[in-house]
Amino acid sequence: MSILVTGGAGYIGSHTVKYLQHKGEDVVVVDNLQSGHRSSVDVESFYKADIRDRDSMDRIFQKHAVKEVVHFAANSIVGESMKDPYSYYHNNVYGTLCLLDSMKKNGVYNIVFSSSAAVYGEPDRIPIVESAKTIPTNAYGETKLVIENMMKWFEVAHGIKHVSLRYFNAAGAEGSIGEDHSPETHLIPILLQKLLGQREKVFLFGDDYETEDGTCIRDYVHVQDLSAAHYLSINYLRNTGKSDIFNLGNGRGYSVKEVLKSVERVTKATIDHEVKDRRVGDPDVLIASSEKAKSVLGWNPEFGDIEKIIGDAWTWHRKNPNGYKD
């Protein structure tokens, strides 16, 4: 029996593939390599294919005895989603629609979905619980919410069960794999790239937010802890046959300035930076309550310390200053 991982050559995907392999699972990876890196996964069954390509997906489902799908394949840059919503709806929403249809056709009834804290938009209350209102402030978050709703109806009609994991800010790295987006938009890799001479300037997007130091507060979670949550979710589906939604974060927020200071402490360097205008659609504070993931899935994040998260990312970036070779 195999687990099919879509987008398995991406950042969180590749870490999850490695984690599942360590747990003894047989993993099949599908990735169109629009942003993933072939060398980030060490897997025999790798298919360069798009989830919207039904014929290819049928062939993969027919060749392997897939029991569960872990679905990462998506466009994931918030700013880009505001300029090009078509691509986001096409790849994320239509892509998942095709995937669910392929699963139905091939008798695969379990899916773990890579969702996002972006489904919440501006929260009323911190920490954010799963039952909070979902009013996304960007097209990316909206596509993730549409997909969650789509999966609900595929369960009603066809019995496909889903676990939706709403990640807060993924960061960190593990051994030979790490974070390599192009363009990079995330705070921690941007700060590390600056230290490695990979970029000229670092901008802090706004220092007039409703927070103590004026910069946005986010909940950073180690990519290895996220990987573990996917494995637990697969087992939850296997054991209970129930669908559910879980937040994944550490329940502790760090401001942009605090992250900058932590990076400086870990790397023992000073980072020149400039304060710029706010980025459109950035909420002041996003902190997760992950109590549900802990009590229901048995999730026990091990690497919540921000300096551990940054230290692991730094180890990878130092070894791979230009990212992956492919």
Q: For ligand UDP, which is the closer residue by CB, 38 or 186?
A: 186
In the list 169, 243, 289, 290, the residue contacting ligand UDP (rule: CB under 6 A) is 169
x/- binding map, residues 239-278, to ligand UDP, per CB under 6 A?
A: -----------------x----------------------
| Shortest Cβ 124–ligand UDP spacing (Å) | 18
* Number of residues lying near ligand UDP (CB under 6 A): 14
| Shortest Cβ 31–ligand UDP spacing (Å) | 22
Q: How many CA atoms lie within 13 A of 104 on its CB side?
A: 15
203 binding ligand UDP? (CB under 6 A): yes
Residues forming the active site:
140
Q: For ligand UDP, which is the closer residue by CB, 108 or 263?
A: 263
Q: For ligand UDP, which is the closer residue by CB, 256 or 287?
A: 256
Determine phi and psi for 185, rounding to 5 degrees.
Answer: -120, -10
Are the C-beta atoms of 28 and 2 separated by less than 8 Å?
yes
CA angle 112, 73, 290 (to 5 degrees): 40
204 binding ligand UDP? (CB under 6 A): yes
DSSP 58-89: HHHHHHS-EEEEEE--S---HHHHHH-HHHHI
Are the C-beta atoms of 117 and 145 separated by less than 8 Å?
no
| Shortest Cβ 194–ligand UDP spacing (Å) | 9
218 binding ligand UDP? (CB under 6 A): yes
Determine phi and psi for 151, rounding to 5 degrees.
Answer: -65, -35
216 binding ligand UDP? (CB under 6 A): yes
279 binding ligand UDP? (CB under 6 A): yes
| Shortest Cβ 232–ligand UDP spacing (Å) | 23
DSSP 13-43: HHHHHHHHHHTT-EEEEEE--SS--GGG---
Q: Quick check: helix, strand or coil at residue 174?
A: strand
190 binding ligand UDP? (CB under 6 A): yes
Per the document, the length of the chain is 326
The CA distances from residue 116 to 108, 147, 157, 168, in Å, are 24, 11, 25, 6
In the list 198, 205, 258, 291, the residue contacting ligand UDP (rule: CB under 6 A) is 205
In the list 54, 90, 186, 294, the residue contacting ligand UDP (rule: CB under 6 A) is 186
185 binding ligand UDP? (CB under 6 A): yes
Taking alpha carbons only, the member of 3, 31, 56, 313 closest to residue 177 is 313
By the criterion CB under 6 A, which residues form the site for ligand UDP?
78, 169, 185-187, 190, 203-205, 216, 218, 256, 279, 282
